[in-house]
Structure 1
Amino acid sequence: MRIRPAAEADIPAVLEIVTPVLAAGETYAIARDLDRAGVAAYWFGPTHEVFVAEADGKLLGTYYLMANQQGGGAHVANCGYMTAAAAQGRGVARTMCEHSLARAKERGFRAMQFNHVVSTNNRAVNLWRGLGFEIVGTLPMAFHHPVHGYVDSFVMFKSLV
C-alpha cells in the first residue's frame, strides 16, 4: 500500500469512497444529502491537504489533514479518514492514520485532535485508542445516528511532542 497526495485525476475515485459514507450518516456530522459537488467541496476544502491510499492501481482510502482551529489553536491538527468498503479490515485506516501523524509532525503540528468521534463507531474508537489517542471529552447525545438515535460523541486527542 502506498499513500500519496491526491491528484485531480483521483477526485472521481475519492468521491466513490466518500459519498456513500456521508450519505449513510453514521460517522460524520455533515449533511447526508450532499450532491457530488458538495461532497467534493467538503473533502477537498481549501484548508484540507488530501491524501489517498492505493494498491495495485486502486484507491483503498483517503484522508485529509488540516489545522483543527485558527489562530491560537492552529498548532493542533485534525483529520478525516475514509476507507473504501471493499478494503475495510485490511489496515488501511491504521496506515493512513500513521501517515497523517508523521505528516502532521512534518508540518509542525504539536498535537492531533478528533472533534466528533461517534461513540457507536467502535472500529474507529478502538483504532484511535490503539494509536495513542485518548478520549478527553464526551459530548452527550451530540450525534443523531440514523439507526441508534441520539448517541454520544468523543473528543479524542494525541500529543505529537
Structure 2
Amino acid sequence: MTVQIREATDEDWPAIWPFFHEIVVARETYTYDPHLTEDAARELWMSPSSSPLRRTTVAVDADGTVLGSANMYPNRPGPGAHVSSGSFMVDARARGKGVGRLLCADMIEWSTRSGFRLIQFNAVVETNKSAVHLWQALGFRIAGTVPGAFDHPTLGYVGLHVMYRPLP
C-alpha cells in the first residue's frame, strides 16, 4: 500500500470524524470525553493553519482515502514550549499496515525541523500494547506510569504511561 502524509485540510474532516468518533467512544485508548460533539472534536483535532507550531496531518492512500490522522503541538507553553506532543488515530480498516508508524515518523521529523528538543506523550494507555510497542520501536521511553489513571471499559482502572523521545 502506498501512503502519503500531507497537511490536513477542512475538507478532510468528514473522513476523519467517523474513525475519530469510533476510537473515542470505544474508551480504550483516549482520555477524550466519549460524548464529545463533532464540532468540539473538530476544534480539538484540526489545528489552525495560522499557527506554525501546530499541525494536523492525514495519511492517504493512492486513491486519496484518509487512513489516519495526527495532530502535533507544543506540549506546554512558556518554559515547556521546547517539548512537542501529538496524538494519532488510524481507521480500523488500516490498522496494522504501518500507517501509525508513518504518521509518527512524520511528527518526529516535523518536531526536529521545528526546533523542539524532545517529544512527550502525556497519556499512553498501558494496555494499548500496539501503541506502546510502536512508540518504543520509534525511540520513545516510558518515563513513568500513573497507576489507575485511565478507566478502561472492560479492564477497569489501568495506568497511563508518560513517554518521551529526545530529538537530535
Q: TM above 0.5, one fold?
A: yes
Q: Which of 28, 33, 36 is the matching residue for 1:34? A: 36
User: Which segment is superposed worse, 47-56 or 82-91?
Assistant: 47-56
2:5 is matched with 3
Cα distance between partner residues in 2 of 1:130 and 1:149: 27
Cα distance between partner residues in 2 of 1:95 and 1:120: 22
Give aligned pairs, total.
161
Cα distance between partner residues in 1 of 2:112 and 2:47: 21
Gaps of 5+ in 1: none
Gaps of 5+ in 2: none
2:110 is matched with 103
Q: Which of 135, 139, 161 is the matching residue for 2:146? A: 139
1:53 aligns with 2:59: yes
TM-score when normalising by structure 1? 0.96
**What per-residue deviation string (whole Å, max 9, x for no partner) do you get for residues 18-64 of structure 1?**
11111111111111111211211221255741000001210010000
- State the 4+ residue runs in structure 1 displaced beyond 6 angstroms: none
User: Which segment is superposed worse, 8-17 or 44-53?
Assistant: 44-53
RMSD, aligned α-carbons: 1.1
1:19 is matched with 21
